[in-house]
Amino acid sequence: MIKVLIADDQAILADGIKSVLSSDEEIEVVGIAANGEEAVKMTAELDPDVVLMDIRMPVMNGVISTQQIKRQQPDVKVLVLTTFDDSDYILGAINNGASGYLLKDTSASVLIDSIKNAYNGDIILPAKIARHIADAARMVAGDRELKLKRAFSLSDRETEIALMLCDGFTNKQIAAALKLSDGTARNYISSIYEKTGADGRASAIAALREAVRGK
């Protein structure tokens, strides 16, 4: 049984989501939080497997709530559900450890499948959300991109991935955003390590960020 906590300040929507999820025999809704602060507290008390997290809530928004939950209980999966397909919110939630992002107009079957997939460790990023992430990663990339290419002779794809590494993306998030297999993403990242002369992720990111700063 997958235990789910719903965090949404709109009671009617939260009740509707609970009704949808309760129709599946593999899912149990263990509680509903009315804001991000409640979500953090109830996650600690109820120990759900998955938190279905709204972004815009009073007291504490879903991005900060996700960060606090993942810091305290890293094994809990947080799946963001919102009406706002805003790149800043997407990046904020994903970079703070969310397992994926769904819009509230998603179908009941997709919502249920996404919860099960997130529980099993998958990254949930619908196509248009993945495009937002990739676009956001490129938006301010011009000058940084040029600096990285000059410093390490990176290919276009390696440069794109290097920028995402600098911004804190995990391997799985990079693969999902750029529609690459996990193995292909790892190969690109290994090549970046080699070209930066790094012996691991931390030293590679340090070298990339130093190059971006122009030092």
Question: Domain residue spans in the chain?
Answer: 2-125, 140-213
For position 136, what pLDDT does the model report?
Answer: 61
> Which of these, 73, 123, 71, lies nearest to 102 by C-alpha position?
123
- Given a contact cutoff of 8 angstroms between Cβ atoms, the answer to whether 158 and 195 are in contact is yes
Q: pLDDT by residue (tens digit) across 118-176?
A: 999 887 777 666 666 666 655 555 677 888 888 999 998 999 899 889 888 889 889 98
Grade residue 85 by pLDDT with cuts at 50, 70 and 90: low
Q: pLDDT by residue (tens digit) across 24-65?
A: 999 999 999 999 999 999 999 999 999 999 988 888 888 889
Asked if residue 116 has pLDDT above 90, the reply is yes
- Given a contact cutoff of 8 angstroms between Cβ atoms, the answer to whether 103 and 112 are in contact is no
Asked if residue 104 has pLDDT above 90, the reply is no
Alpha carbon distance 166, 51 (integer Å): 27
Domain 140-213 carries which CATH code?
1.10.10.10
Q: With the C-alpha atoms ordered 121, 58, 129, 205, is the resulting torsion angle positive or negative?
A: negative
CB atoms within 10 A of CB 24: 17
Alpha-carbon distances of 128 from 24, 60, 72, rounded to whole Å: 27, 27, 31
Q: What's phi and psi for 81, nearest 5 deg?
A: -130, 120
> In sequence order, what E strands does 34-76 have?
50-53
Percentage of the chain exceeding pLDDT 70: 87
Structurally, what CATH architecture does the domain formed by 2-125 represent?
Answer: 3-Layer(aba) Sandwich (3.40)
